[in-house]
Structure 1
């Protein structure tokens, strides 16, 4: 044994005999995956020094003892490392470069055997060797730009020299995970073989290199020298890419364009200078609020996934499901279940509704075929997982039912009571209600412990969130089964407790309340939309209301007003009419009938395209009581403060258990700007004391919707945060 550590071993010799080959194996003890934590990187440095000290070696194989190769750096360390400042980060990266360069400069050929996922720092490790062989199902990539940073351990330097600047830009700016076939096509790897043949293939490459059949020194020269592009080629490769990527990434995500700049600046430099440019750029991005928030988002996502996994382990298998109510929503749920392999019955009382649901599912599968994600045969097979029915005949064998009928408590109660008598005693019933209390819907059920909410967001196939709502009598078994089913559907379930609007809609409607008050005081709704879209929302509040549907918003507003009369009473239509109610009164329901705050025309792809409509502006004037002037900051504060305060209240009321789940629900459910990290991170970033001061100032004029809670005031006094320091 040349080296033995907690995560890395270096052994001399191979299964085929001979002791002139060293194998460095990543196999982090007590972990399911390999990660490059600070401790593992330190071990790697020690292991490389141990290899350098051994005489008589003719090659090195880098391999993994886990199912994945290396999933990347240990992201849980990032916030703590970023806090140490730019100088520390530059120095840290240069030390890692020294280790990686030492691998690249070993006096014999080197090869990596990539058996599974190799991302981020894991991908940068394999770029150090002369050759790479890849398992058929492995993937490699550099996803750092998705965290608001860029590859800092040589990815921006080595990859362009290996696969060309254009391919490297696509991989790095896009943050893609690339299949073995794609990696082979661009020359990122030298061979693709079944995993059981990886070692033999790696040893064969080393033997050929030692015989002179493969020139490993030429490979190194190419990786350590300037990029072979003349000035015109450089301009074509980099300037065009910067414009395209900037347009795609948008102004709030600087990392993809910065990565291109780093590749460009380093293109004419040798290895050391190019790596110094990369290290400096990494440190600059790492200190940005965008990187801080996107890293926090990743960690929040891990919290949510771990909780989901815990529930899943406790759950009974869900092998056959059913959806009650076809149509667009039912069809979307059926498609999602069928596409992920869980057979589903789709029941309705009308043939035309069944046909509408099937049409929706067929349309979504056809899009997958168009994008070459599915073959026509696979589409037919998955469609067969949906069985339409007008009767309850096969419901005795169903493990879980999703009720998705009209959003009316009496209709839902009747349907749920009916189906409960026709399913097995252990069958889980769920309701896809967006606002109606789960405890209320369970009142007439004989087995309320088997009932919970399963709130999907529209469109089902696109929106990742599913709220799993626990009623007063819901059992852990019902929650666990529903979470497991949501995960099997490829969704992110977050468990919340019952209240009007649950979590996401309860938080969203104060935002709409802020919008209504702005309009009443003379703010132009199109300007509000533009300000909030510039802030980072995918669509402004008026546009969002058009997409949700004005009648749906009015109904949900009534539920919220009844549940929280002090803060949200005005949402229920009491007193003066809101702009939303005026739209409903004038049959302007939004996209569903092509007119709301905007008018809608079909674009070239047949999708609704919004256009300004003078008729909408004339109607909105009816509700304007004042003509105040608002700055962009005023608009942002008036919109964001009530949304953030309601998120705080949901946490304090125990509707949601952790800040991580609250923030992820808003990002996944209503498109809260990811680079801002979520409502609670937004408060932390502003400073709790500064946020409370802002809210109190607004509350004096605008009332309870803007009033901070007592607990939040206490947090401000004691300088507390929702996430703690460096979290």
Structure 2
């Protein structure tokens, strides 16, 4: 192997050398198995007698982004002994770097995450740039640091701080790293090399005592039992507050550190590796790794779209309601100026008030500085006419959900914009096909479905109509990315992707209630299963009027999978004027607390209304409830895949995670079916076959189950199934 395929050694002056991390033909440094082998060879070949001090640096914009996650599932599928042996091989390499007979300094710019952070921790000192991000985010993949991170970090910054870094799993800013003691200096990017060399020279000259610092990372910690118990118990309490039993990694990290701080470096490293392997063998880790890879695959698709499309320099939104105001705020707060038009001054004032409310909330939470809020407000221009629309690159239509009004407004605005301007409808219940008929340039028209509330929900569906051009799709994707959203390109159909897949889940809930199952119990079961809220609570938040309208349209589009001519609980509550949170009562009653936050409580009156549609008294287990809720959702996702509504299982799963809060630990609908096993999942479907087509597997799913296949190939952790039309990018 050519050592310089990942790292090269360069002599500088006065006995100082630098080890430059520079992966060939790659945008960033990743610690793949090949990179580890290259680094191992480079360390073995160091001219130890000639070196007085070593600088570890990167030729990329980042230090090291982490381990090569594409290798994870292949590695995790091996025997525990094989995984352990490789982990200990990396431990020995990092220990050797830490034990070099001269001082070492890591010069960090950009990201030093996961394995990259663990490599930086081996150095005696760390000098980082102001924009650097450092962290051990392994918990987000259902695992823990496996190359010494949980050993070195507590010894460097204390058990309590280290557990916070590792259990939260978020990259820390340079200033936070300096305060904690992870970084020894923070400098401007153009000063990094000089500053790191200065620190290294001071260590070589003896002005900085590096050996005592090094010793702290290699010996057992000496804190007393009370200190250790307080740090670990506090961390476990925080984990219990923010992490459910579905995510065991954070608790394992705390327990592992509690045990290993009393060990020396070598023993603690072996202990860490065993705990790492225990987590790596869980279904949760496999799901989260697959989800990460799916997210990366979608990002690559979106970059391809954006790279071929024109960026949006000036946007516009038609309609200044909650959605219009939300779109205006999100666009302006992320840097794209936007015109907000409506037909009355009162409507514009309401839209402006919504944008101001969102800005005020960000200011209160210190997520936005006053100067940023001022700049955001200046990027929103309210108007009652079309002045300035001729300079718009993209217009989002967000008027009332009425096809006649939408068609008229779209035809009108088309006459006011340039020939290349893209028009995007924000409809959630109508199709692109229904709204395109009055347009003279249908190739410039697409859907752009934002989820409510716009500023919080990450997903945006970009809907390609039959006549929509690639240029229009690319510009819409580019705009969504500029707004810091997660765009997914889907083909046109009633409900698009996310609502079409979600509504069978909602309908399954209605059927359970009709069959006599308590809606509060269903909420509790599904929340324990991992959903952020139960289906009854979700209905109250969406609004019974909106739900009644959407369910009716979706049921009409796919009548074979819905009850027809049957009054649902949503219908009954809607007729009774119980619209959910917006009216103060739906399935539950809502009252504002002292801080103005709505609090939910049980309401016997809701049961009185719902009783009129209940026609059964089924006694079901919790597993029965979960299966009856999840099967229709998963089967609809499968139909969307087969029909080419989305390109791949990875896209659909990422969309469900970001659009409706599908439990992350399951990895999406297809990840969930894999975790159940397709043969067992099909058997579950057959058990409920009397409930109709909503519970009938497709022929393709039956064939996959019979062949022992899965959606995510274990050997590659990438989605193994794509739609018949997955050739657009």
Shorter chain as denominator, the TM-score bin is over 0.9
Cα distance in structure 1, aligned partners of 2:713 and 2:198: 52
Asked whether 1:519 is paired with 2:513, we answer: yes
**Superposition deviation, residue 308 in structure 1:** 0.4
Which residue matches 2:232?
238
How far the C-alpha of 1:272 sits from its partner, in A, is 1.0
Is 1:365 the counterpart of 2:362 in the alignment?
no
Aligned 8 A contact 2:508 2:632 in 1: yes
2:687 to 689, 697, 700: 697
SS in 2 for 1:533: helix
Matched, 1:24 2:50: no
Indicate yes or no: 2:490 matched with 1:491: no
Deviation at 1:228, TM superposition (A): 3.2
Q: Name 1:589's counterpart in structure 2.
A: 579
What do the CA deviations read for 1:214-252 (whole angstroms, capped 9, x no partner)? 111101111111223111111111112111222211221
1:321 and 2:321 correspond = no
1:534 Cα deviation after fit: 0.5
Q: Offset of 1:159 from its aligned partner?
A: 0.8
> SS in structure 2 opposite 1:214?
coil
Give, in angstroms, the shift of residue 474 of structure 1: 0.7
Q: After the TM superposition, which residues 616-635 of structure 1 pair with which residues of structure 2 at under 5 Å, given as runs?
A: 616-635=606-625
Identify the match of residue 334 of structure 2 among 327, 333, 340.
Answer: 340
The aligned residue for residue 385 of structure 1 is 379
Match of 1:414 among 408, 418, 438: 408
Aligned residue for 1:42? 37
Q: Deviations over 1:631-675 (max 9, x none)?
A: 000000100000000000000011011000011111100000011
CA contact (8 A) 1:85 1:287 kept: no
**Which residue of the partner structure matches residue 528 of structure 2?**
534
2 CA distance for matches of 1:655 and 1:338? 31
| Alpha-carbon shift at residue 87 of structure 1 (Å) | 2.1
For residues 550 and 85 of structure 2, what CA distance do their matches in structure 1 show? 54
| Structure 1, unpaired ranges of 5+ | none
4+ aligned runs moved over 4 Å, structure 1: none
In 2, Cα distance between the equivalents of 1:370 and 1:90? Answer: 48
Q: Is the 8 A contact 1:666 1:678 kept in 2?
A: yes
Q: Does the aligned pair in 1 maintain the 2:61–2:110 contact within 8 Å? A: yes
What is the match of residue 374 of structure 1?
368
**Does residue 547 in structure 1 map to residue 545 in structure 2?**
no
Q: What is the aligned partner in structure 1 of residue 605 from structure 2?
A: 615
CA contact (8 A) 2:290 2:712 kept: no
Counterpart in the other structure of 1:149: 143
Distance 1:557 1:209 in 2: 69
Q: State the shift of 1:256 in Å.
A: 1.4
| From 638, 641, 644, the counterpart of 1:654 | 644
User: Displacement of 1:41 after TM fit?
Assistant: 0.8
Structure 2 gaps, min length 5: 718-729
**8 Å contact 2:678–2:710 — kept in the other structure?**
yes
Please give the secondary structure, in 2, of the residue aligned with 1:5: helix
Counterpart of 1:468?
462
| Partners of 1:89 and 1:243 in 2: CA distance | 31
Change in CA separation of 1:399 and 1:186 when aligned onto 2, cut-off 3 Å: same
Deviation at 1:374? 2.1
Q: CA separation in 2, counterparts of 1:447 and 1:207?
A: 66
What is the match of residue 421 of structure 2?
427
CA displacement at 1:23 relative to structure 2: 1.1
Q: 1:85: how far off?
A: 3.0
- Secondary structure of the structure 2 residue equivalent to 1:452: strand
Q: Deviations over 1:367-422 (max 9, x none)?
A: 22222232212211111101111111221111100001111111111111111111
TM-score by length of 2: 0.97
Shift of 1:316: 1.5
Which residue of structure 2 lines up, in the alignment, with residue 711 of structure 1? 700
Task: Quote the offset at 1:353 in angstroms.
Answer: 1.7
Q: State the Cα distance separating 1:84 from its structure 2 match.
A: 0.6
Number of residue-to-residue matches in the alignment? 716
For residues 254-333 of structure 1, the aligned pairs below 5 Å read 254-333=248-327
Deviating more after overlay: 374-383 vs 520-529: 374-383
- State the alpha-carbon separation in 2 of the partners of residues 167 and 218 from structure 1: 21
Distance 2:421 2:336 in 1: 15
- Structure 2 Cα separation of the partners of residues 57 and 220 of structure 1: 18
| Residue number in structure 2 paired with 1:674 | 664
- Alpha-carbon offset, residue 603 of structure 1: 2.9
Using the alignment, how far apart are the partners of 2:335 and 2:110 within structure 1? 24
Q: CA deviation at 1:677?
A: 0.3
Q: What do the CA deviations read for 1:128-162 (whole angstroms, capped 9, x no partner)?
A: 01111111211111111111111111111111111
2:722 aligns with: none
Tell me which residue corresponds to 1:117.
Answer: 111
1:725 aligns with 2:714: yes
**1:7 and 2:6 matched:** yes
Per mean C-alpha deviation after superposition, the further-off stretch among 588-597 and 353-362 is 353-362
For 1:501, what is the secondary structure of its paired residue?
coil
Cα pair 1:451 1:478 within 8 Å, conserved: yes
Residue 127, structure 1, aligned to residue 121, structure 2:
yes
* Rounded Cα–Cα distance in structure 2 between residues aligned with 1:126 and 1:637: 47
Q: Residue 430 of structure 2: SS of its match in structure 1?
A: coil
Tell me if the contact between 2:73 and 2:714 (Cα under 8 Å) persists in the aligned partners: no
User: Which deviations, in whole Å up to 9, do the C-alpha atoms of 1:492-519 show, x marking residues without a partner?
Assistant: 1000001110101111111111111111
Assess if the C-alpha contact under 8 Å between 2:3 and 2:39 holds in 1.
no
Cα offsets for 1:320-360 (capped at 9, x unmatched): 01111112111111110001000001111122221121111
Q: Please, what TM-score do these two structures have when normalized by structure 1?
A: 0.97
Hey, what's the Cα distance between the residues in 1 that align with 2:202 and 2:264? Answer: 28
Q: Does 1:173 align with 2:172?
A: no
- Cα distance per residue 1:148-198 (max 9 Å; x no partner): 111111111111111111111111111121111111112111111222222
Is the CA contact 2:314–2:338 (under 8 Å) kept in the aligned structure 1?
Answer: yes
Q: Work out the CA distance in 2 between the residues paired with 1:296 and 1:576.
A: 40
CA distance in 2, matches of 1:85, 1:547: 47
Superposed displacement of residue 462, structure 1: 0.7
Please give the alpha-carbon distance, in whole angstroms, between the structure 2 residues aligned to 1:704 and 1:351.
49
Give the corresponding residue for 2:720.
none
Contact preservation (8 Å) 1:4, 1:10 = no
Q: CA deviation at 1:562?
A: 1.8
Q: Which residue of 1 aligns with 2:132?
A: 138
The alignment partner of 1:61 has SS state of strand
Distance 1:605 1:162 in 2: 41
Equivalence map 1:565-580=2 (5 Å): 565-568=559-562, 570=563, 574-580=564-570
